[in-house]
């Protein structure tokens, strides 16, 4: 189990840790499969996140349409 100090550190630096892991994975993908395939995978991830959020939050889609596409 984590001590209280370790738990506080992880909570305080959560964004930095997540971003560092994400960038390491992107860097490894760039080195192994190339830029275009990596960009395609990132694009698919963003699209998946968007549609997943739209499924979870029904009002999100209505707000998106009204705010960005106009009414």
Evaluate if residue 71 carries a pLDDT over 90.
Answer: no
List own/partner pairs for 20-29 with CB under 8 A and 24 or more apart. none
pLDDT band at 50 (very low <50, low <70, confident <90, very high): confident
Where are the domains positioned within the chain?
1-33, 34-71
**45: closest CA among 68, 37, 57?**
37
Q: How does pLDDT run across 12-48, given as a tens digit for each residue?
A: 999 999 999 999 999 999 999 999 999 999 999 999 9
What angle, 0 to 180 degrees and rounded to 10, lies between the N-to-C axes of helices 14-33 and 35-56? 140
- Look at the alpha carbons of 24, 13, 55, 65 in this order and tell me if their dihedral is positive or negative: negative
pTM, 2 dp: 0.65
CA distance 7 to 22: 21
What does the pLDDT read at residue 52?
86
């Amino acid at each position: 189990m984590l001590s209280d100090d370790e738990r506080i550190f992880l909570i305080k630096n959560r964004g930095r840790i997540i971003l560092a892991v994400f960038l390491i994975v992107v860097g490894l993908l760039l080195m192994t499969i190339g830029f275009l395939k990596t960009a395609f995978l990132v694009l698919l991830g963003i699209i998946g996140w968007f549609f997943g959020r739209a499924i979870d939050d029904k009002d999100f889609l209505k707000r998106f349409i009204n705010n960005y596409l106009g009414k």
